[in-house]
Amino acid sequence: MGASDKKQFISIQGKPVLFRSAQLFTQIPQIKEIVVVTNEEDIVRTEQMLADIAPLRVIAGGAERQQSVWYGLKVLKNVEFVLIHDAARPFPSRKLIEKIMASAREEGGAVPAVPVKDTIKIVNGEGVVESTPPRQSLWAAQTPQAFRLSTILTAHQQAQDKGFVGTDDSMLMEWQGHRVVLVEGEYTNIKLTTPEDLKLGETILEQRRG
């Protein structure tokens, strides 16, 4: 992001990114627990920032994202399904979240995704194009991703035991042979990664207010 602070603490139109992301899930009555996983040194700051959001807990994560998700899953109680979300995506609509939840209840696992707009090239280590996969079969995955808690928890446990690393949580489910369905996502459900994304995020918020 090139900023002086971690991106979850950067404000966008007066509210920190992490606060916006966490607040999304308080609007849905079916969600009973919210767990935020962060670096141990950021726990106090995160708790203070999210003090008005309940029920919410903040815990320390691991060295990598996958391990942090696993830690978060293990502290959930009395939950049948779980939504796993990236704090850097503060713009999914309530409609999208509820659609993902409904699909997960029917199928066991659901992932929001949007069709890619660009032609994708597969290249080798020298930067030479090896192939061009058909664009109609390519979708860009987003979060929140929803799964039956017992199933995704077992997949994470197996991944820890066998040293398997996935690029997202649905990849662990696929690796274990579980069915995961795609739910059409939203192009506005962007992940804040660069300064340009912050400008786009401000535009998204302005359009929704309008």
Q: How far apart are CA 37 and CA 34, in angstroms?
A: 10
Instruction: Give 159: exposed, middle or buried? Use CB within 10 Å, 0-12, 13-18, 19+.
Output: buried
Q: Give the list of residues 6+ apart from residue 188 with CB closer than 8 angstroms, or none.
A: 91, 93, 204
pLDDT, one tens digit per residue, over 36-77 is 999 999 999 999 999 999 889 999 999 999 999 999 999 998
Whole-number pLDDT of residue 1: 64
Q: Give the list of residues 6+ apart from residue 196 with CB closer than 8 angstroms, or none.
A: none
Q: How far apart are CA 93 and CA 140, in angstroms?
A: 17
Structure tokens at 34: 């919210």
Whole-number pLDDT of residue 210: 62
CATH architecture of 7-209: Alpha-Beta Complex (3.90)
Whole-number pLDDT of residue 38: 97
Closest CA to 164 of 68, 155, 57: 155
Whole-number pLDDT of residue 40: 96
Q: How far apart are CA 54 and CA 172, in angstroms?
A: 30
Residue ranges of the chain with pLDDT lower than 50?
A: none
DSSP class of residue 16? E
The pTM (predicted TM-score) of the whole model is 0.93
**β-bridge mates for residue 145, sequence order:** 84
DSSP β-ladder status, 56-60 and 34-38: parallel
Closest CA to 31 of 97, 112, 106, 86: 97
82 SS3 class: strand
Q: Is-contact 66 163, C-beta < 8 A?
A: no
